[in-house]
């Protein structure tokens, strides 16, 4: 299937997660994404292991390039051009590519590309249709603009950690670099909007995406809880600040998550527990009442759920249309019948080895928007790209011998 972005060319000059996540999504949507990497180091995440693909913990187990699982999560569908942008020849190659590109993604520190003459204003002069997207920790301006930003730190500064964890425990980060992922998604939305604007005006524009901005924006209801009440929300562990019962509960042999979203569901749940009168009690009949009386209600629910096994409860809850689910390990996630049916685990082939992947969740007319091209090795596509740019094999050899390309 050809993707909706077929014919669009992206220079992905980003590293680690937020920028590459955006680049991978654009590749899944059909764009040609050229990943610009340092000839020796490549993307930082190539070395963020173990685990290593197919090698256990030893890089000597076989001859294939050692690659960390981390790198594989965000670089599907791309071509790799390994070029040293610190060299004048490397800079010239990037400028030539930018002249024919539609989008450039980068996550250098503010001003970092300007010293090479590869910042957006410089490239935009060469190609007025070029769309630039800069991803930084704190944005292109402001008192923190010069600082480096990392997901963990931004979760702390942006308030997410203050909301996560048990009430009497340490504030916690999420188990996934969620700010990076969300920043990649916002960056993609911005790029797609800029493409639509360019279709009307013929001109590209610059998109400034900051991790801290994204973290604050995605506080969602908790941000408005603060702005409306004037008070910072407290941590509720696995409970919800605005809905009850909406949390994890222990059963006789494990745990489940119960997400009762309205009063009708609560009435059915109360009946299942053998206490239909709860649904008529003014202390519990409405969600607002249940939130106000959670300290009394939750222990009563918990005591009853301990009397049976998890899967027995889950079967009865499903039969009554009461939303609930098990707390799965990641291994269990990829064995889940629904996840398997939706083919969320994929396997791509590259260099004679299988590369596991997680599918793009978007589907167009029933077809998954997931590239079938595995994440590239460092400089895997350099010769092809440089040849398409008009360089001869002698030209490429000279650049390679000079350490400009790989």
Q: What residues act catalytically? A: 180
- Pairing verdict, β 255-259 and 324-326: antiparallel
Question: Would the pLDDT of 234 be above 80?
Answer: yes
Question: Would the pLDDT of 362 be above 50?
Answer: yes
Measure the CA angle with vertex 187, ends 161 and 371; round to 5°. Answer: 105
Q: Which whole number is the average pLDDT over 367-387?
A: 96
pLDDT recorded at residue 66: 82
Q: Which whole number is the average pLDDT over 325-329?
A: 95
List pLDDT tens digits, range 264-306.
999 999 999 999 999 999 999 999 999 999 999 999 999 999 9
CATH code of the region 9-218+365-402:
3.40.50.10540
User: Is residue 258 within 8 Å of 246, Cβ to Cβ?
Assistant: yes
Measured CA to CA, the distance from residue 204 to residue 188 in angstroms comes to 15
Q: At what angle do helices 18-28 and 178-201 cross, to 10 degrees?
A: 50
At 263 the three-state DSSP class reads helix
- CA nearest neighbour of 251 among 315, 334, 164, 175: 315
- CA nearest neighbour of 214 among 12, 15, 18: 18
CATH code of the region 246-328:
3.30.1540.10
Measured CA to CA, the distance from residue 317 to residue 265 in angstroms comes to 10
pLDDT recorded at residue 351: 79
Measured CA to CA, the distance from residue 152 to residue 277 in angstroms comes to 46
pLDDT recorded at residue 350: 85
Output b/e per residue, 105-133; b: 16+ Cβ within 10 A.
Answer: bbbbebeebeebebbbeebbeebeebbbb
Measured CA to CA, the distance from residue 242 to residue 222 in angstroms comes to 9
Measured CA to CA, the distance from residue 130 to residue 125 in angstroms comes to 9
φ, ψ of residue 245 to 5 degrees: the values are -85, 130
pLDDT recorded at residue 62: 46
pLDDT recorded at residue 61: 44
The string of DSSP letters for 175-214 reads SS-HHHHHHHHHHHHHHHHHHHHHHHHS---EEEEEHHHH
User: Is residue 310 within 8 Å of 319, Cβ to Cβ?
Assistant: no
Residue 316's Cβ-count burial label (10 Å; 0-12, 13-18, 19+) is middle
Every domain of the chain and the residues it spans: 9-218+365-402, 246-328
The string of DSSP letters for 149-181 reads --HHHHHHHTTHHHHSS-TTS-----SS-HHHH
Measured CA to CA, the distance from residue 210 to residue 266 in angstroms comes to 41
Measured CA to CA, the distance from residue 261 to residue 322 in angstroms comes to 9
List pLDDT tens digits, range 101-134.
999 999 999 999 999 999 999 999 999 999 999 9
pLDDT recorded at residue 55: 61
Question: Would the pLDDT of 169 be above 70?
Answer: yes
Measured CA to CA, the distance from residue 209 to residue 138 in angstroms comes to 8
pLDDT recorded at residue 64: 62
List pLDDT tens digits, range 10-51.
999 999 999 999 999 999 999 999 999 999 999 999 999 999
Q: What pTM, to 2 d.p., does this model score?
A: 0.93
User: Is residue 381 within 8 Å of 80, Cβ to Cβ?
Assistant: yes
Reported as a pLDDT band with limits 50, 70 and 90, residue 261 is: very high
Output b/e per residue, 251-273; b: 16+ Cβ within 10 A.
Answer: beeeebebebeeeebbbbbbebb
The enclosing H or E element of 347 equals strand 345-350
Percent of the chain residues topping a pLDDT of 70: 97
């Amino acid at each position: 299937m050809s993707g909706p972005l077929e014919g669009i060319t992206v220079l992905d000059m980003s590293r680690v997660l937020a920028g590459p996540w955006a680049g991978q999504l654009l590749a899944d949507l059909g764009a040609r994404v050229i990943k610009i990497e340092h000839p020796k180091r490549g993307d930082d995440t190539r070395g963020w292991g173990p685990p290593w693909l197919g090698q256990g913990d030893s890089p000597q187990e076989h001859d294939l390039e050692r690659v960390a699982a981390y790198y594989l999560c965000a670089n599907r569908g791309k071509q790799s051009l390994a070029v040293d942008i610190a060299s004048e020849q490397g800079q010239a190659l990037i400028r030539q590519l930018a002249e024919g590109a539609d989008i450039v993604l980068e996550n250098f520190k503010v001003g970092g590309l300007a010293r090479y003459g590869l910042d957006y204003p410089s490239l935009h002069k060469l190609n007025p249709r070029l769309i630039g997207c800069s991803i930084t920790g704190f944005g292109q301006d402001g008192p923190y603009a010069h600082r480096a930003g990392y997901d963990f730190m931004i979760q702390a500064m942006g308030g997410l950690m203050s909301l996560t964890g048990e009430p009497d425990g340490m504030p916690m980060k999420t188990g996934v670099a969620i700010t990076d992922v969300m920043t990649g998604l916002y960056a993609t939305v911005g790029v797609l909007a800029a493409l639509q604007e360019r279709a009307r005006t013929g001109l590209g524009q610059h998109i400034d995406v900051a991790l801290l901005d994204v973290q604050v924006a995605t506080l969602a209801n908790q941000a408005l809880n603060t702005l409306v009440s004037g008070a910072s929300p407290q941590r509720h562990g696995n409970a919800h600040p605005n809905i009850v019962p909406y949390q994890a509960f222990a059963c006789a042999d494990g745990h489940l998550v119960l997400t009762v979203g309205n009063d009708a569901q609560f009435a059915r749940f109360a009946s299942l527990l053998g206490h239909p009168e709860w649904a008529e009690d003014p202390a519990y009949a409405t969600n607002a009442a249940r939130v106000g009386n959670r300290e009394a209600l939750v222990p009563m629910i918990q005591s009853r759920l301990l009397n049976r096994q998890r899967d027995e409860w889950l079967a009865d809850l499903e039969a009554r249309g009461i939303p609930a689910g098990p707390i799965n390990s990641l291994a269990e996630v990829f064995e889940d019948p629904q996840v398997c049916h939706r083919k969320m685990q994929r396997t791509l082939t590259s260099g004679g080895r299988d590369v596991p992947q997680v599918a793009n969740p978007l589907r167009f007319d029933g077809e998954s928007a997931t590239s079938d091209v595995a994440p590239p090795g460092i400089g895997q596509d350099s010769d092809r790209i440089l040849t398409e740019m008009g360089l001869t094999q002698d030209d490429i050899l000279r650049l390679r011998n000079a350490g400009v390309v790989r």
